Structure 1
Amino acid sequence: MPAVEMNFDGLVGPSHNYGGLSFGNVASQSNFQAVANPREAALQGLAKMKALMELGFQQGVLAPQLRPDVDVLRSLGFSGSDAQVIERAARDNAPLLAACSSASSMWTANAATVSPSTDTADGRVHFTAANLNCKFHRSIEHPTTSRILQAMFADERHFAHHPALPATAQFGDEGAANHTRLCKRYGDAGVEFFVYGRSALDARHPAPQRFPARQTQEASQAIARLHGLSEAGTVFAQQNPAVIDQGVFHNDVIAVGNGEVLFYHQQAFLDSERVLAELADKLARLGGSLQPICVPSDVLSVDDAVRSYLFNSQLLTRADGRMLLVVPEECRSNPQVWAYLQRLTGGDGPISEVRAFELKQSMRNGGGPACLRLRVVLNESELAALNPGVILTPALYQTLVDWVGRHYRDRLQERDLADPQLLVECRTALDELTQILTLGCVYSFQRT
């Protein structure tokens, strides 16, 4: 059996809401305090997972974080029973309660950076949970993320887990949203492509002026060292600060790679010619041939890319070797983007099909198909060592749909975060979910 790339989609949690917490993410800020529908959000995500499973792709599920995070509120001085902690936070610092109730963990592209065993020095799959320390509401995720990943990939013979990098500005790490991998076949050694927004130590690197650059060069280099990657198998590139200032807060909003294909906007990188030459050279030394697909600025603007999330798509290799591009429905709604996609898939290039999915609840919060999934390449023995409870099957899909129907509200807005009953509902739902996915006790309320 050849190695496969599995997509582990984040299951949207029962407290899904629009907090507008992510400065630099245009969609997130635009929908601040809108009414959210947690049930619809979870079912939209599950529908995408099911559709890809039925097309023959290996699909997994990653459990959500518990929100609101009462433990964090306690660490910040709120005391009393759980209900009193929530009540006092809502009264004294509602923005802080909103941050501790964020739904952003649904975007598991930020959960961690993953390197397959063919690329690492010790021949194991390596995971480094992202510290996400650019935003407080995301910086509190990594302890639970690490426990969930360790419950999914538990066998130390095959999997290595690293804690998040130090929570300082120098090592700001946003996970796989700024990392992709190019290879001839998934089971071959590949080139791991790290894209950073700034250098914390080298002032010669240009920086954005409007929005923050979240990923640092130093963090990307540290992860490459932790994973035991070779210099011959890594490329580091700086994101164009001008596109960060236009709302491209992560590289996966302006580029996506798969196999030998890099699909990107003309303005994605600084010094694009050098970056592409290095990628092509290093991939060639590993037996591959880079196939760059550049979308010129005069065909599609950065604004069109951000509004449609064209590049925040999943690029998947089908059984026949051609590629499927999974995009949000917003791409179909944009005439320029949809016309471009028809030309792209109508020729003899590597991308032969595009499918649009309705992910409105996620898109309004600022994340598309690529944000919702963490990619993990596994060989046959590693796949056998994976916790089977997280692999999507028709039976598990139906179980999760039923679970969502029992536990999720169909309406949630900011004032509902102050309802102590919401915490009870979320704990009840997630306690049952850990049994469904056979994860054990990964949440703090289960460990006390």
Structure 2
Amino acid sequence: MRLRPAAVLAVVLGALVVVGLASPAGAASDAINIKGTLSDTRTDPPEPVPDVKISVEIDGSEVATGVSGPDGTFAIPVPGSPDDLLGQDLTVKLDTDSLPEGTSLTDGKKTSFTVMVKTNADITVNYGIGPEADKGPGLLQEIAQNSINGVFLGLLLALAALGISLVFGTTGLTNFAHGELITFGALAAYLLQDAFGWNFYAAALLAVILAGVFGLANDRLLWKPLRSRGTGLIAMMIVSIGLGIFLRNVYQYFFGADNHQYRGVPAGDLWNIGGVGISPKSFYIAVICVVVLILVSLAVTRTRLGKATRAVSDNPALAASSGIDVNRVITTVWIAGAALAGMGGIMWGLQNGFDYQVGNKILLLTFAAVTLGGLGTIWGTMAGALIVGLLVELSSIVLPPELKYVTALVVLILILLVRPQGLLGRAERVG
């Protein structure tokens, strides 16, 4: 007997439904789980922490307990159907007595907090575990620690922001695509490591050179033709916004949206100096930033090209009439500014990791540093970057981490209301 196609299809679909309902994967979840991972942040990469007790309470009564497994994960089913638990407040508690000796929770995570059940989905809770907090100096120690972190952040911002200041000083362009120059350096070093197997130091050196070449290409293919046609600065600024969006999409297409880390650079054991913890990696990055900033300062003040750059910044027409090749100076500034931005992206990625939009994420902070210090002056940029870094880190003592970047921008607005040219900028009369 021949079976009709429709009958065969109905039989197959019916069998699939029966199998799906009978299998565990097809069965509906009959409980809400409190799940998460415990990681030891003292190691690089973090290691799992087993045998730590977590409990769940409803209305002050303990209803479920569990411990983290060998891989640091835990999943605690909450009694009751998901529908009955909707709208209930669940209190999740971590037993600090079960933590490894000499450790405590990091990142200000509370041992106990309450969450309301709003859906029938599992609730994820992750904890970081680090060295036991020192209960000695308290606030003073926290201020000292955050001040060190602020200086390190300020040096990174100064390195990344110098290119904005140099380009603005010589051309008047506010380049909103500068963040993508920062990202280019970070991604170029990562590509050389990931695709070609280079060690980090060789990859970083070549990536800085490639960033300079990329800056040259930017000027030759886009900005120089626009300058030659007499394009206004507002129009060029809008072009830079479009260029930034275009480059971010290109980066995402080729590198994806994942967060990346460099290989072959160990973090090292934390240095404890007077109760202040300093990462060796952060310290050496700060030293590199200081050396580069000093070299740039000497180049601008002592070399012939640096003096020509300052002359073009002060008065391009007068500099041209005195025999200075203005186009050559601007091209050199683009190369140097892009190379510094690329180096800033590499140092930032080495410290914090990075993705395809790392430059865009810190662009507002770099603009704040340049504007606060004074547009067009590299020393103002350095001073502004240090102030922004300190404000960001010190504000996190009293503000939630999500709001710490807002402080720098608020102070920037207040200062510009009093001194529009910035701290070290030169006041100019319009008209």
TM-score, normalization by structure 1: 0.18
Structure exhibiting the larger radius of gyration computed from Cα positions: 2
The structure carrying a bigger helix percent of its residues is 2
